[in-house]
Each structure stands twice: as structure tokens, then as C-alpha cells.
């Protein structure tokens, strides 16, 4: 019987545990600080009050209730010992295993931008997303009570980063700011509200084609997003952002989608770290020199074979988790490990209602607009269903995208509403 310790219940950790749940020769312990799996790609919809936390949060106990060989633990892993194959939790408990699987994900990389770690809000967890939502709604409430605050930047929202996270967040912010809030605060001068996207690069969604760049830029502008491209964020303060060209933007909400690096637990682990602090792995997903330690998903640099590494994507994390489990089973059976083979299904990003870009399959068949939007809905509905979601998110989307576009429930628009005690505890 092999004791498998999995750190992190993201796409990678859950996929690994799910595959091992059918393996009688493995005893699995999956540890996450939250006690639930959060569906990261939809965090921006929590932040912009499109979905409720319960729509993207999946309790680990429920997920593995029917699998006697999977134990779930809620706790912060503060240290790992790759030689002993053990982890230490914040309460000083040490858990020993025979195989260690690291799926601890990422954290924001502020690139030493002064003030960014203190005064911006990243989007990596449900707690982060709820902070953004809370701040957004409070700023509207305050501006409605004191309209002069608008001149002070109360309704100017800045998003840093023109990758998928920044673009999706900016598009969704523009919709709530310009389409939803005028109904909630009809007397507020919302014409003074702004969503500004800043990126050092000269376009957005650089991982996509030139056609997609142009489409995304047009769609964002059409939705009222102001683009400041080719300029860096020099400094962030509680009430403004200073750009590299000296421009000062008054704001009280800056969302950071400006880059990421390996989760803190990778640092000080003694494991080899490469680009972004991520743990370098061999083609079979084990760490060089540590054959009993796997690193997967966003915390790992997974080699492709041509000297590059795979991008930080949900599909990479999920497939690497499943593959690592296969290799663990291969070791138990004595058939050995296989090099990871990633099935590239493509990439997509939503810009707003009925507007998305998608590049489908390894040959990157391009779709923009309504077809890409429909593909986005289908793919995310399927992914959520696989995670164990009920129908709620789909009903919210249909309502929001097709039936009552400018409507949000009172629960979603209440800054103090957090629908589960566990999130309040961890926030």
C-alpha cells in the first residue's frame, strides 16, 4: 500500500486523487488550506457579482465521500521534506508518505512594483474574488451617498495585465459598471465611472492570434474599457496608480492580473526551481533527483520537448494530475512511468456578453464572437459539471447573458453577503 500525499486541491491535485480513488493499492491524503476545490477560471465572475461563491466551490469531503482510500485534510502546508517524503502543516503536524504530489498552484507576481502587494487585489482564490466584489460594491454605495467621491476616483477601476485574467475581468467589470449599476443607482452620475486596463505590451491576449488581438481590443473599447497599452505600472498607492509615463490615475480598486509565480510552498522546498520559481520536472512529472516527488500544474515547469514548458492552464493541470496518478499506479504495478503527453484542446477567453475568442485544438482553429462565446459556454458548463456543479451557474448565465442582461440578484449585489461560513473563516 503506497501512502500518497497530495498538496493542493486545484485542478491538478483533484485529478490525481480522483484517478487514485479507484486504486486499492494507494492510500491518498489530499490537503488544501480551504477544504474545498475552487474553480479558478470563473473567479472573475464572482468578483463582478455574476455568480455566487457556491457556484464554483466544491467541498472536498463531499467530492471524495464515496472513496474510503481518500482522506481529505484542511490545513496550510508550511514545509515539505522531499527526502523524507513528508509535509508539515501550520499546526505543526507532520504527515509522512511514500509519494508526494505537489499541486499547490500559483501566487501573484508583483515584479517588485512598489505598493502592488499592499494596494492591489489579485484573483487567485475565492477569498480574493470576494474582496474585489466587496470593494467594488462598497465604492458604488459610498459614491451614491457622496457623489463628490467620483472625482476622487471612487468609480475608476484599474485592471493590471492584458492576459486572459485581465481581459476577462476588465470586460466583466465594464458590464457591471455600465450596464448593471445604472439600474441599482439611477441617480448616481455613472457616466464618470471608468474601467482602465493597463499592460506593458502593445496588445492584449498575446497568446492568441493577431486577429484575436484586434477583436479583443475592439470589443473591450466597445464596452467602454479604456486601454493603456505599452506602459508599465510604476507604483500603486491606496488612492492612485502611477504609470511609467508619469500619468497618475485616481482609483480605489486595482485588480492585479499582471503575472504569477509558483505558490509559496515551492520556495525553500529544496527542489530545483526554474522560471517563475516553478519546480522543474522531468518528462514523467517527477522532480529530478526525487523520484518519489511529483510537481504538477501551475507550480511546475513541465517540459514540452523543444526546450519550452507548458503554459499555466487548467487543462494542463488537470491532465498532469491524471497522468501523475497513472505513473504512480505504473510504479505500483511494476510497469513503470510514461512521459507526460499533453492533449492540446486549445485556448479561449471571454471578453463579455456574446463576445469571446477561442483557438480550438492543437492546430488552433480560430473562432471569434458569438461562436466563440457559445464554445466558451459549452466548455465551461462541461468543466463545471465534471467538478460536480449543480445547475445554478448555467441558470445564472442564461439569465445574465440572454434573459435579463442588466439584472443581478440582491444577494450578489450586497457587499456583506458571503454565502458560506467557511469562506468567511478563511478570508
What residues act catalytically? 168
Shortest separation between residue 186's beta carbon and ligand FAD, angstroms? 31
Q: Is the distance from CB of 348 to CB of 358 less than 8 angstroms?
A: yes
Q: Is the distance from CB of 157 to CB of 177 less than 8 angstroms?
A: yes
Q: Is 400 in the site for ligand FAD (CB under 6 A)?
A: no
Tell me the C-alpha to C-alpha distance, in Å, between residue 49 and each of 44, 205, 296, 406: 9, 23, 31, 12
Q: ∠ CA(381), CA(386), CA(389), 5° rounding?
A: 65
Considering only the stretches 38-46, 94-102, 141-149, 171-179, report the one whose residues sit in contact with ligand FAD under the rule CB under 6 A. Answer: 38-46
Query: Of the two residues 40 and 251, which places its CB atom closer to ligand FAD in the complex?
Result: 40
Query: Of the two residues 154 and 199, which places its CB atom closer to ligand FAD in the complex?
Result: 199
Contacts of ligand FAD in 246-265 (CB under 6 A) = 263, 265
Query: Of the two residues 213 and 240, which places its CB atom closer to ligand FAD in the complex?
Result: 213
Q: ∠ CA(309), CA(314), CA(318), 5° rounding?
A: 90
Contacts of ligand FAD in 311-370 (CB under 6 A) = 312-315, 317
**Which residues is 31 bridged to in the sheet?**
7, 73
Query: Of the two residues 13 and 277, which places its CB atom closer to ligand FAD in the complex?
Result: 13
Contacts of ligand FAD in 8-27 (CB under 6 A) = 8-13
User: What cell numbers appear for 11 in the block?
Assistant: 485542478
Shortest separation between residue 152's beta carbon and ligand FAD, angstroms? 28
Q: Is 297 in the site for ligand FAD (CB under 6 A)?
A: yes
Q: Is the distance from CB of 229 to CB of 201 less than 8 angstroms?
A: yes
Query: Of the two residues 46 and 144, which places its CB atom closer to ligand FAD in the complex?
Result: 46
Measured from each CB, the residue nearest to ligand FAD is: 10
Per-residue mark of binding to ligand FAD, 96-115 (x: CB under 6 A): -------xxxx---------
Considering only the stretches 5-13, 112-120, 190-198, 354-362, report the one whose residues sit in contact with ligand FAD under the rule CB under 6 A. Answer: 5-13
Which run of H or E residues covers position 234?
strand 233-237
Contacts of ligand FAD in 138-177 (CB under 6 A) = 164-165
**DSSP state for residue 47 in the 8-state scheme:** H
Q: Is the distance from CB of 107 to CB of 299 less than 8 angstroms?
A: no
Q: Which of 304, 267, 379 is nearest to 39 (CA)?
A: 379
> What sections of 91-125 are H helices per DSSP?
116-119
Separation CA 337–CA 341 (nearest Å): 12
Residue from 23, 175, 284, 298 in contact with ligand FAD (CB under 6 A):
298
Q: Tell me whether strands 156-160 and 194-199 are parallel, antiparallel or unpaired.
A: parallel
Q: Is 124 in the site for ligand FAD (CB under 6 A)?
A: yes
Query: Of the two residues 93 and 335, which places its CB atom closer to ligand FAD in the complex?
Result: 93
Task: Using CB under 6 A, list all residues that contact ligand FAD.
Answer: 7-13, 31-34, 38, 40-41, 43-44, 76-77, 103-106, 123-124, 164-165, 263, 265, 297-299, 312-315, 317
Amino acid at each position: 500500500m503506497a501512502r500518497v500525499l497530495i498538496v493542493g486541491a486545484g485542478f491538478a491535485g483533484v485529478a490525481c486523487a480522483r484517478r487514485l480513488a479507484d486504486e486499492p493499492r494507494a492510500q491518498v491524503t489530499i490537503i488544501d488550506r480551504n477544504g474545498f476545490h475552487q474553480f479558478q477560471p470563473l473567479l472573475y465572475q464572482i468578483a463582478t457579482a455574476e455568480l455566487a461563491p457556491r457556484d464554483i466551490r466544491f467541498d472536498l469531503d463531499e467530492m471524495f465521500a464515496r472513496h474510503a482510500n481518500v482522506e481529505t485534510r484542511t490545513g496550510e502546508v508550511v514545509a515539505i521534506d522531499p527526502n523524507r517524503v513528508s509535509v508539515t502543516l501550520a499546526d505543526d503536524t507532520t504527515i509522512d508518505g511514500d509519494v508526494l504530489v505537489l499541486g499547490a498552484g500559483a501566487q501573484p507576481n508583483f515584479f517588485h512594483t512598489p505598493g502592488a502587494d499592499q494596494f492591489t487585489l489579485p484573483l487567485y482564490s475565492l477569498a480574493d474574488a470576494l474582496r474585489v466584489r466587496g470593494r467594488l460594491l462598497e465604492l458604488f454605495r459610498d459614491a451614491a451617498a457622496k457623489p463628490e467621491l467620483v472625482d476622487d476616483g471612487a468609480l475608476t477601476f484599474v485592471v493590471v495585465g492584458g492576459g486572459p485574467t485581465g481581459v476577462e475581468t476588465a470586460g466583466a467589470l465594464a458590464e457591471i459598471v455600465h450596464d448593471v449599476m445604472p439600474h441599482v443607482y439611477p441617480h448616481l452620475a455613472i457616466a464618470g465611472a471608468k474601467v482602465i486596463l493597463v499592460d506593458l505590451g502593445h496588445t492584449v491576449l498575446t497568446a492568441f492570434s493577431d486577429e484575436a488581438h484586434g477583436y479583443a481590443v475592439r470589443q473591450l473599447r466597445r464596452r467602454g474599457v479604456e486601454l493603456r497599452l505599452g506602459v508599465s505600472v510604476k507604483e500603486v498607492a491606496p488612492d492612485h496608480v502611477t504609470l511609467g509615463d508619469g500619468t497618475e490615475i485616481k482609483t480605489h480598486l486595482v485588480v492585479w492580473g499582471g503575472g504569477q509565480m509558483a505558490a509559496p510552498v515551492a520556495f525553500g522546498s529544496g527542489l530545483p526551481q526554474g522560471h517563475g520559481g516553478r519546480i522543474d520536472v522531468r518528462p514523467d512529472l517527477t522532480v529530478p533527483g526525487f523520484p518519489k516527488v511529483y510537481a504538477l500544474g501551475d507550480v511546475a515547469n513541465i517540459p514540452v520537448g523543444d526546450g519550452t514548458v507548458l503554459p499555466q492552464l487548467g487543462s494542463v493541470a488537470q491532465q498532469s494530475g491524471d497522468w501523475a496518478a497513472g505513473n504512480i499506479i505504473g510504479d505500483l504495478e511494476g510497469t513503470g512511468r510514461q512521459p507526460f503527453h499533453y492533449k492540446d484542446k486549445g485556448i479561449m477567453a471571454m471578453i463579455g456578453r456574446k463576445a469571446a475568442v477561442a483557438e480550438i485544438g492543437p492546430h488552433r482553429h480560430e473562432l471569434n464572437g458569438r461562436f466563440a462565446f457559445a464554445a466558451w459556454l459549452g466548455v465551461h458548463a462541461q468543466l463545471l459539471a465534471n467538478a460536480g456543479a449543480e445547475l445554478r451557474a448555467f441558470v445564472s448565465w442564461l439569465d445574465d447573458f440572454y434573459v435579463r442582461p442588466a439584472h443581478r440578484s440582491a444577494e450578489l449585489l450586497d457587499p456583506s453577503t458571503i454565502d458560506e461560513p467557511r469562506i468567511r473563516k478563511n478570508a
